[in-house]
Amino acid sequence: MNTQGMIGVGYRRKMTNALLDGSDIHPEFVELAPENWIDVGGTWKQRLNRVADKYPILCHGLSLSIGSPDPLDMDFIKKLKAFLDEYQVPLYSEHLSYSKCDNAHLYDLLPIPFRQDAVDHIVERIKIVQDVLERPLVLENVSYYTPVAAEMTEIEFINAIVKESGCQLLLDVNNVYVNSFNHSYDAHEFIDSLPLESVGYMHMAGHRKIRPDLIIDTHGSEIIDPVYDLFDYTVARTNPVPVLLERDFNIPEMAELDRELSRLKAISKSHWHKETVDHGTA
Amino acid sequence: MALRESTAKAQSSFADYCRTGETSGIEGAREDRISQYRRLVFSVVQNALNTAYPIVQKKYMSKEDWESLQHRFFSNHPCSDPQIWRMPSELIEYVEQQESELCSKYPALLDLLRFEWQETYLFMMPDLELPHHSNHCPSLSDKVVLEQEMQLLPLKYPVHNTHPSKLKEAQAGQYISMAWRDREKRHVHFMGISVFFALVLENLNTSDITLLEAGKKVALQFGITTDHWKEELDKFVAKLHQKHLIFKA
């Protein structure tokens, strides 16, 4: 299933009827967190099956905890594989963070120390996960509000992970914007320094400024213009990949989300469609 | 493992702070920002617990006691389930093992947690196939097929049929809540049943015997010498059949 260049939306349960009806919102794929669906039956299984009949499904995990000092949870990874196989998921992504430590899940994304030993540790685990899942792992640059025990920069850390593991990058453009604000760096320079040829997926979302010096990546409001601008800048430098609109809280009317999808589509088409035509005529 | 001890320690200190809200220092972290992580992490956990236990949260415990329990639970109990919707079930075991003082203050707390979790679990549980069966209502001489998406919950307090505000005056006893997910609309339903019938169902579930044999076994266990139970069991079976919970094998 080729989802390159498609624009999708993060599937929240309250969107189900609108997605099935398809009159107010028109994503080209939907993304879901497998943790919310593995071993689920009843009504929600039926509804998910109907959504999966209508849209390609991409998965974005929450609990793999690739950067954890704890061992990988192989039972969970096997369940995950069964789920990805059942729904023929062409792309599985996760976060470059950790969410479990000392045998306790935290259900949120904690920043990994930017250190070479953490890189080595994660690279080894990426290979194990990919072997068990029998598919590539695409990892997301996460938003973070404080570094922890860092010995290298964020960009050095991400680049080392991608280079040494060969994994693809889920480039969350909003996270670049949020981090550049919170840690005072230039977002465009950061994008330019990434291994853009390894980008396999992109995320876009809204955020909230809670203090003059701090933005939180909430996924709870609309995307702001500077993030669209950064997206435009990024898309001009990458190959066509699927692009997701994330909206987890304060979910508005579907027509409003659809307008955001249309704007993302217009921006991506302005670069990727042109590129396809250029390639086609070359 | 390639990870250095100091890296693992920094990660552990940070995670520990997110769980407890207490820190003795996290290497290289900005003190003015770490509280955001504690706030975000704990709010996710609180949200999951509030969603799973709305009656306990809103109708049974005081706000202060509930929030304080949430904090103690998340600080002291290592949540083991990677799926957050399942995590609230771990609160039950935690309360049972660690919160005896709170259970004395709220005697029906454990029952209410189990009752609320039963509904969530049955609503969400994987689909279970109903074994091959006839659609006829079984007679007492028949072996039966039971609905697989059905659970019995033994209770000390009648949380299944008592308003939470009246639970403080409720009498402790032996109660059984039977819950099931219907196959048409996939909704969860509840029904209070007697201990006698619960044991009959349990026997039917675990042994390849007829209704009559199961009934006799339980009657013997209860020291019942009359045959009145047969008529009652017959009525009970008819009621279950009407709800598509029991079939002739």
pLDDT of A279:
44
Of B34, B78, B127, the CB nearest to A41: B127
Residue B192, phi then psi, degrees to nearest 5: -80, 130
Whether A117 has its CB under 8 Å from any CB of chain B: the answer is yes
> Do the Cβ atoms of A165 and A127 come closer than 8 Å?
yes
> Is pLDDT at A280 greater than 90 in this prediction?
no
pLDDT digit string, tens, across residues A176-185: 999 999 999 9
Summarize pLDDT for A40-70 with one digit per residue, the tens.
999 999 999 999 999 999 999 999 999 999 9
Q: Which residues of A touch B28 (CB under 8 A)?
A: 113, 147-150
Q: Domain limits of chain B?
A: 1-106, 130-249
pLDDT confidence tier of residue A282, bands split at 50, 70 and 90: very low
Of B2, B3, B186, the CB nearest to A42: B186
CB contact under 8 A, A36 and B83: yes
pLDDT tens by residue, chain B, 249 residues: 579 999 999 999 999 999 999 998 899 999 999 999 999 999 999 999 999 999 999 999 999 999 999 999 999 999 999 999 999 999 999 999 999 999 999 999 999 999 999 999 999 999 999 999 999 999 999 999 999 999 999 999 999 999 998 888 888 999 999 999 999 999 999 999 999 999 999 999 999 999 999 999 999 999 999 999 999 999 999 999 999 999 999
Query: Is the minimum CB–CB distance between A7 and chain B shorter than 8 Å?
Result: no
The single-letter code of the amino acid at A79 is K
CA A176 to the chain's CA centroid: 12
A95, A109 contact by CB (below 8 A)? yes
Chain A: residue whose CA lies nearest to B5? A69
Cβ A107–B125 below 8 Å, yes or no? no
Average predicted confidence (pLDDT) for chain A = 96
In Å, how far are B31, B50, B60, B145, B164 from B57, measured between CA atoms? 32, 6, 6, 38, 11
Q: Please list every residue in chain B whose beta carbon sits closer than 8 Å to the beta carbon of residue A104.
A: 15, 19, 77-80
Residue A108 confidence (pLDDT) above 60: yes
Q: What is the pLDDT of residue B170?
A: 84
Percentage, residues of chain B above pLDDT 90? 95
Q: State the Cα–Cα distance between residues A72 and A69, nearest whole angstrom.
A: 9
pLDDT of residue A274: 63
The answer to whether A220 contacts chain B (CB < 8 Å) is no
Chain A residues with CB-CB distance to B48 below 8 A: 107
Tokens of A40: 């689920």
Q: Is A252 on the interface with B (CB under 8 A)?
A: no
pLDDT tens by residue, B25-66: 899 999 999 999 999 999 999 999 999 999 999 999 999 999
The ipTM, to two decimals, is: 0.94
Chain B residues with CB-CB distance to A98 below 8 A: 11, 15
**Residue A101: beta bridge partners?**
A104
Beta partners for residue A60, in sequence order: A93
> Smallest CA–CA separation between A97 and chain B, in Å?
11
Q: CATH number of the domain at B130-249, out of 3.40.50.410, 3.90.930.50, 3.30.930.10, 3.40.630.30?
A: 3.90.930.50
Residue from A95, A115, A100, A104 nearest A217 by CA: A95
What pLDDT score does B1 carry? 54
List Cα–Cα distances, A280 to A268, A274, B40, B122, in angstroms: 18, 10, 48, 54
- The matching CATH number, chosen from 3.40.50.720, 3.20.20.150, 3.40.50.1460, 3.40.309.10, for A7-281 is 3.20.20.150
Q: Which of A70, A72, A146 to mutate against chain B (most B CBs within 10 Å)?
A: A146
**B interface test, pick of A124, A145, A207 with most B CB neighbours within 10 Å:** A145
A255's tokens: 């027509």
For residue A133, name the pLDDT band (cuts at 50, 70, 90): very high
Average pLDDT of chain B?
A: 96
B249 neighbors B143 (Cβ within 8 angstroms)? yes
- Per this entry, what is the length of chain A? 282
Interface test with A, best of B17, B40, B147 (most A CBs within 10 A): B40
